[in-house]
Chains A and B, each alone.
Chain A
Amino acid sequence: MPYLRAFGHHLPTRIVTNADLEIRTGRVPASIEKTSGILERRYAAENETVADLGLAAANACLANANLIANEIGLILFSSGSAERAFPGPASVLAQKLGLTTTPAIDIPVASAGSLIAIAFAADLAPRYNNILVVASEIMSRRIADTDPDTAILFGDGAGAAIVSNEASPNGLRIVDVSLSTDGNYADALQLPYGGAIQMKGLDVIIQASRKIPRSIQDLLEKNNLKPSDISLFLMHQANVNLIRKVATALEVPEDRFFRNIDRYGNTSSASLLIAASEWRAANPNPPATPVILAVFGAGFNWGSVLLTP
């Protein structure tokens, strides 16, 4: 039975406020906050790589799990903002952890990647036991100030989780998973080679507003649960207005949705694991009810995961 054993995260130290972005993009801070819920985000230093951020998150996660790198059976690394087409950051991270034979696989699907990696890890845990899931993004290098609607949204950061086949104190059991893809929207959110992120915001919000609640509802119904049975929703931090939409659609109070988008912006696939790590650090005891993870992103790919204490 697979468990989420521990989380960890790392954020660059450089804080970029909405006022900083006003100088670059012309968007006034009040407008940025109203349309996204973001007050500030973090940007990586020039010499930092996606694997560097991922390593810091991985080390924090390993410490929280009381594991050493040699106990990892598999690495799954999610990033949509890696520096090169191949090899991706997974093998670089493995090398930085001192692992030279452990399989390390990239999942380059951007925002939904961390949840997809957790879903894969749940199925692979019986074979590999401790699986290190890392999601790391340096989105600040993939935006263009000439597209302020997109540029204001993104930040950099990394999160990590250990999926283990063995139960552990305070581990969260991975009960069920729902993954979906609709390639009709492949062009609606994309990062072309050598370019900046291109996003048809209207399509993204409209589809996400419908598909995320449906994914969660279907997963809960399959497991004889209702949204009101869930006290904690850990969702991709894309936009505070989207999080509110999902809460409204599920008819649950907004405060059941963990939020840190005001401080970090949209860190793409890293956001889910950063949120999970911050929630866990603040709430070390087992949750009182099942927990839902949910994401939506380029592809479109979306999905949800049901966890129980």
Chain B
Amino acid sequence: MSTQAGILKVIHAVADIPNDPNPDESLFDSGTLDSFTLPDLVTGLEKEFNVKIPDADLVPERFDTVTKIEAYLDTHKS
């Protein structure tokens, strides 16, 4: 499974709105994510990609789009 496919799998699992966001679409502006679902997204990403995401990295700007999430994971995957 590609990184983007894994990210979409996690988004589908945690989002209130079932959609398939474009890679550069803001997940917050579209209502896909909010303050209560971002922690779930991060926990889901940690499990899906076997990475540890520190609390200090939990800023919405890092997880605002699928592309940004992919870039973040690429630099943090062991």
Real complex partners, A and B? yes
Q: Is the CB of B58 within 8 A of A201?
A: no
Report how many A-B pairs have Cβ atoms within 8 Å.
Answer: 30
Closest residue of chain A to B36 (Cβ to Cβ) is A241
Q: Is the CB of A207 within 8 A of B58?
A: yes
Residues of chain B within 8 A of A182, CB atoms compared: 55
A105 within 8 A of B: no
A184 within 8 A of B: yes
A245 within 8 A of B: yes
B38 within 8 A of A: yes
Choice from B36, B43, B55, B60 contacting A207 with Cβ under 8 Å: B55
Q: Which of A188-215 contact B (CB under 8 A)?
A: 201-203, 205-207, 209-211
A interface bracket (residues with beta carbon within 8 Å of B)? 10 to 19
Q: Is the CB of B55 within 8 A of A205?
A: no
User: Size of chain B's interface in residues, with CB distance under 8 A?
Assistant: 12
Residues of chain A within 8 A of B39, CB atoms compared: 205-206, 209-210, 245
Choice from B35, B40, B55 contacting A202 with Cβ under 8 Å: B35
Give the distance in Å from the alpha carbon of A224 to the alpha carbon of B18 in the complex.
40
Q: Is the CB of B36 within 8 A of A184?
A: no
Q: Is the CB of A210 within 8 A of B55?
A: yes
Closest residue of chain A to B54 (Cβ to Cβ) is A210
Residues of chain B within 8 A of A184, CB atoms compared: 56
Residues of chain B within 8 A of A203, CB atoms compared: 59
Give the distance in Å from the alpha carbon of A211 to the alpha carbon of B58 in the complex.
12
Give the distance in Å from the alpha carbon of A209 to the alpha carbon of B39 in the complex.
7
CB distance from B47 to the nearest CB of A (A): 13
Give the distance in Å from the alpha carbon of A207 to the alpha carbon of B57 in the complex.
10
Choice from A201, A210, A211, A249 contacting B35 with Cβ under 8 Å: A201
Q: Is the CB of A211 within 8 A of B36?
A: no
Give the distance in Å from the alpha carbon of A205 to the alpha carbon of B28 in the complex.
15
Q: Is the CB of B60 within 8 A of A202?
A: yes
CB distance from B40 to the nearest CB of A (A): 8
Residues of chain A within 8 A of B40, CB atoms compared: 245
Residues of chain B within 8 A of A242, CB atoms compared: 36
Q: Is the CB of B58 within 8 A of A245?
A: no
Which has the most chain A C-beta neighbours within 10 Å: B40, B55, B59?
B55
CB distance from A239 to the nearest CB of B (A): 9
Which has the most chain B C-beta neighbours within 10 Å: A202, A241, A249?
A202
Residues of chain A within 8 A of B35, CB atoms compared: 201-202, 205-206
Residues of chain A within 8 A of B60, CB atoms compared: 202, 206
Give the distance in Å from the alpha carbon of A206 to the alpha carbon of B38 in the complex.
7
Residues of chain B within 8 A of A201, CB atoms compared: 35
Q: Which of B15-66 contact A (CB under 8 A)?
A: 35-36, 38-40, 42-43, 55-56, 58-60
CB distance from A36 to the nearest CB of B (A): 11
Give the distance in Å from the alpha carbon of A210 to the alpha carbon of B59 in the complex.
13
* A–B pairs, 25, beta carbons within 8 Å: A182-B55, A184-B56, A201-B35, A202-B35, A202-B38, A202-B60, A203-B59, A205-B36, A205-B39, A206-B35, A206-B39, A206-B58, A206-B60, A207-B55, A209-B36, A209-B39, A210-B39, A210-B55, A210-B58, A241-B36, A242-B36, A245-B36, A245-B39, A245-B40, A249-B43
Apart from A207-B58, A210-B39: 13 A-B pairs, beta carbons within 8 A: A182-B55, A184-B56, A205-B35, A205-B39, A206-B38, A206-B39, A206-B60, A210-B55, A210-B58, A245-B36, A245-B39, A245-B40, A249-B43
